[in-house]
Structure formats: structure tokens, C-alpha cells
């Protein structure tokens, strides 16, 4: 299938079947088709002019694709002229790349990667870029990796999936693309951290690697968290929370003392993911900081890293904070916590400190229950795992089927990260909001499996301790 522009008014693309070459197009038809794609500026057109141009583009794309290699050659010759004259025509380059993919697939990957590099604004029409890259990633062919690497620098483009009413923007756009490539993407992303010097490309790579829990990546991400540039450092700090290594707790809590609210926010975000209750006393003072975004993150942290001390801090904030925007979220956090316990704050308040501690601990324990095997559980072997993975990949989902009985706790007992990355890749191909719920389940399993290599408690705990014994 291929995407072609039907309207420049909202720059929406649609899939049409690629039926293969028709009668060879005369050379002048190819010249006209290429010319129709050049120097388009929707901002200077009326709505009617845009609609006319859309129809012209649809025919031009069809002519070039039907011509096959000759159409590709015509586009490449025009691209050579554009580059030689140093003319900027980003819409033409992005459209030409999409057509070249439809004509030559992986055989054109290097050419497309070069077209997406340099100063080309990928967001000029991100539909051309995203759907081409996504289709390339689904091949899981190493030859397309230069294409995927070339688009890591973009953090502005977004696409809209109307059938799911889903807007896909950075970093989710890269999650779909690189996620569809599966476990074989990891070495390439690690090389990006070693070789790429710009700021946004490594930032995207760090985000993606944080979901793979690769230990080689962790070493490089830790270095970037300490001394990396701007956006890359912020992503690296957040990634340390995902990895949750015992070595990084002191660094993350020290970061809360910074003066820049945006930087402190990244440390707070990381500590939420890290899952160590010792962070709570470091987070409580930040409730009084004036920055709204940071305040909301701290409230989320104290709600998830739930302790009696954190509950009391949220209750004080709900009663005494100077502005309603701070009081209301704190009140909602306290109410939600006690709703989970089946009582109110008023019923909780008279309890003794040991009773409060026990009640809150039971709430945390409940959150971990689904990951622990039960005495009467069905036996789940590695052979079962391979059968489950095969079914999930074939169905592009982790629900239903013969293995609907398999729960998170079964997977924790038998799975490994590369297998789950490849299951996630199959789920990503559904390109929907529904698949994201399943992918989050897989990501949490991978996070716990990754942490199981170096910490005793992989989930929320009172103190993250290094793993002792054979799994280390």
C-alpha cells in the first residue's frame, strides 16, 4: 500500500493500493509529474487552489510509481538539480522520498535516509515521513536503519490517525517506528549514543533505549545524565528512573535541590519511576515551589510513592496551599488514595503511627500482587512461553486466543526482554491507541525483568538494594 496526498488543506494522507507498473509513461509525462511536485507552498493558495493541487499531486504520484525505476530515476535527477542549486524545497524532498520507498522499498533506503538528513524540515509534512518510516520499520530489515536514524532528530512532527482519533507526536512517533523494528533496534540505538553529536538525535535514542533496559546503554545514559547537553541530559535523567539501578538513587535525589524547575522536574519524574520510598522526604519540600508543572509531578510522586509522611504533606497542602490550583490536586490525591483503602482521611487520621504505616503498606502491596505467582497457578514453562509469543505475534495482540489465561505473573516467571520487545513490535503494527495499553503492560514486564538483574525488589519498595546472589 502507499500514501498519497488528497488534500493540502489539512495535509492528510490516505492509503491506496500499489498495483504495479502500468504502460510505461512517456518521458514528458514523468517530467510533468515531477514538476507538479515542485515549489508547493500551501500558505499562498486558496482552499480551491489547494484542492486542485491535491488532485494534480495524486495523479503525479501515480504516474511516477507506475513508471517504476524510470519514475525513481526522474525523481533522483530532479533531486540532484535541487541540491546542486542549493534550493530549499522540503515538501518536494519528503514527497519524493515517500514515492521512492513505494517504488524501490529497502533498495532505496540509503537514498531516502540522505534525503531526510541535513536541514530538511521533516515536519513540513510529517505524514510523508512517518508512514514511510513506519512501513520501513515493519520490514525489520537492517538496511532501513539509516532511514530510522535520520528521523531521530525530529521532535516537531505529528500525524493524526482518524479511525482511532489518535494524534501521534514525539516521542510516541519514534516509539511506534522504532518499536515496530523490534529487538534488533537496540545495537543501532546504542551506536547513536556513541557516534551522534547533535542534541535531539541522542535525546530520542535515550528515550527509546530506556524502554529496552539494555545494560550497555545504561552506562552511556548515566554519563549523559551527569554531563550531557540540554534535552539529552533531561531524557537521560528520566531514563535512569526507568532503569532503577541502585547506583543512581543519590544522584537523583541530589538533583531535587536544583534551582531550575524544568531540570528538577526531570529528577522528580525519574524518582517516580525509580520506586524508592526514601525519595519522599526529599520530594515533600517541593510542594511549596511555585512552578505548576513541577508541583503536579511532585503530587503524582507522593501519590505513587505512598507513605504516611507523604499523605500528611498532601493533606496539609490541600488545606493550606495559597492557590486553588495547588490545593485541589492535593485534595484529589488524598481522596483517591483513601478510596483505594476503602475509607476516608477522617477515619484514617486517628490511627496510631504503626497502624497508619501498616495500612499504607497494604496499599503498596496490593499494587505488586499481580506480578507474584500464586500457589494454585497453572504451571508455565519456557516452551509455553514460546507458544504464547508465537500466538501474540501472529495476532498482533496479547489478549484473547488460546493463552488468554496467561497473566503478568506467569510472564515474569518465564519471559525475557528480547522476546517481549518483538511481541511489542507486532502490537505496534496495529497503529492504534488500543495497542498502547498492551504495550505498556509489556514495558512494565520488561522493566521488572531488567531490574531483576541488579536489584532485590524490582517494583515499589522501601529501599532499593543491590541484588545479592546468582541473578546479579
Question: Using an 8 Å Cβ cutoff, are 134 and 176 in contact?
Answer: yes
The kind and range of the H/E element at 126 are helix 126-139
Are 159 and 168 within 8 A, CB to CB? yes
Q: Are 106 and 136 in contact (CB under 8 A)?
A: yes
**Cα–Cα distance measured from residue 190 to residue 205, given in angstroms and rounded to the nearest whole number:** 8
Which run of H or E residues covers position 46?
A: none
**Domain spans, the chain:** 2-154, 378-451
User: What pTM does this model have?
Assistant: 0.91
**Confidence band of 377 (pLDDT split at 50, 70, 90):** confident
* Best CA proximity match to 416, nearest among 377, 391, 448: 448
91, with CB counted inside 10 A (0-12, 13-18, 19+), is buried
Q: How confident is the model at residue 24 (pLDDT cuts 50, 70, 90)?
A: low
- Condensed to tens digits (0 to 9), the pLDDT of residues 303-328 reads 999 999 999 999 999 998 878 888 99
Q: Which three cell numbers stand for residue 225?
A: 545524565
From residue 334, give the alpha-carbon distance in Å to each of 314, 353, 358, 461: 7, 17, 17, 20
State pLDDT tens for residues 379-426.
888 889 999 999 999 999 999 999 899 999 999 988 899 999 999 999
DSSP 466: B
Instruction: List, in sequence order, the alpha helices (H) in 369-432.
Output: 382-395, 408-414, 417-428
DSSP H or E stretch at residue 15:
strand 12-16
Start-to-end Cα distance in the chain: 47
Tell me the Cα Rg of the chain.
Answer: 26
Question: DSSP letter at 26?
Answer: P
Amino acid at each position: 500500500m502507499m500514501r498519497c496526498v488528497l488534500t493540502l488543506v489539512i495535509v492528510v494522507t490516505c492509503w491506496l493500493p500499489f498495483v504495479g507498473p502500468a504502460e510505461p509513461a512517456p518521458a514528458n509525462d514523468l517530467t510533468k509529474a515531477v514538476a507538479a511536485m515542485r515549489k508547493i507552498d500551501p500558505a499562498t493558495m486558496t482552499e480551491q487552489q489547494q484542492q486542485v493541487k491535491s488532485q494534480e499531486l495524486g495523479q503525479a504520484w501515480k504516474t511516477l510509481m507506475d513508471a517504476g525505476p524510470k519514475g525513481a530515476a526522474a525523481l533522483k535527477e530532479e533531486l540532484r538539480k535541487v541540491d546542486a542549486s542549493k534550493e530549499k524545497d522540503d515538501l518536494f524532498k519528503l514527497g519524493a522520498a515517500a514515492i521512492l520507498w513505494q517504488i524501490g522499498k529497502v533498495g532505496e533506503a540509503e537514498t531516502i535516509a540522505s534525503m531526510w538528513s541535513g536541514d530538511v524540515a521533516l515536519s513540513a509534512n510529517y505524514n510523508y515521513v512517518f508512514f514511510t518510516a513506519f512501513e520501513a520499520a515493519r520490514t525489520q530489515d537492517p538496511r532501513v536503519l539509516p532511514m530510522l536514524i535520520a528521523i531521530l532528530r525530529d521532535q516537531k512532527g505529528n500525524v493524526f490517525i482518524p479511525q482511532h482519533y489518535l494524534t501521534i507526536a514525539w516521542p510516541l512517533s519514534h516509539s511506534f517506528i522504532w518499536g515496530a523494528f523490534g529487538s534488533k533496534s537496540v545495537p543501532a540505538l546504542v551506536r547513536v549514543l556513541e557516534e551522534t553529536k547533535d542534541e535531539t538525535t541522542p535525546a530520542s535514542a535515550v528515550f527509546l533505549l530506556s524502554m529496552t533496559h539494555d545494560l550497555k546503554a545504561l552506562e552511556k545514559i548515566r554519563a549523559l545524565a551527569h554531563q550531557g547537553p540540554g534535552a539529552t541530559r533531561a531524557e537521560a535523567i528520566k531514563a535512569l528512573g526507568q532503569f532503577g539501578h541502585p547506583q543512581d538513587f543519590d544522584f537523583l535525589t541530589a538533583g531535587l535541590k536544583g534551582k531550575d524547575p524544568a531540570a528538577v522536574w526531570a529528577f522528580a519524574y525519574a524518582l517516580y519511576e525509580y520506586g524508592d520510598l526514601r525519595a519522599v522526604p526529599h520530594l515533600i519540600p517541593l510542594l511549596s515551589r511555585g512552578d505548576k508543572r513541577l508541583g503536579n509531578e511532585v503530587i503524582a510522586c507522593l501519590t505513587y510513592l505512598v507513605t504516611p509522611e507523604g499523605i500528611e504533606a498532601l493533606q496539609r497542602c490541600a488545606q493550606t496551599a495559597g492557590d486553588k490550583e495547588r490545593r485541589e490536586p492535593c485534595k484529589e490525591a488524598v481522596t483517591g488514595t483513601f478510596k483505594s483503602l476503602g475509607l476516608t482521611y477522617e477515619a484514617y487520621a486517628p490511627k496510631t503511627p504503626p497502624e497508619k504505616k501498616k495500612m499504607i503498606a497494604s496499599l503498596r502491596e496490593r499494587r505488586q500482587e499481580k506480578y507474584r505467582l500464586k500457589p494454585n497457578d497453572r504451571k508455565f514453562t519456557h516452551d509455553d512461553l514460546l507458544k504464547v509469543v508465537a500466538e501474540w505475534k501472529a495476532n498482533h495482540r496479547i489478549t484473547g486466543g488460546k493463552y488468554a489465561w496467561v497473566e503478568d505473573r506467569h510472564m515474569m516467571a518465564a519471559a525475557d526482554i528480547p522476546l517481549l520487545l518483538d511481541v511489542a513490535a507486532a502490537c505496534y503494527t496495529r497503529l492504534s491507541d488500543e495497542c498502547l495499553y498492551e504495550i505498556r503492560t509489556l514495558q512494565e514486564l520488561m522493566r521488572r525483568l531488567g531490574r531483576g538483574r541488579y536489584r532485590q525488589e524490582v517494583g515499589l519498595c522501601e529501599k532499593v538494594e543491590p541484588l545479592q546472589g546468582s541473578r546479579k
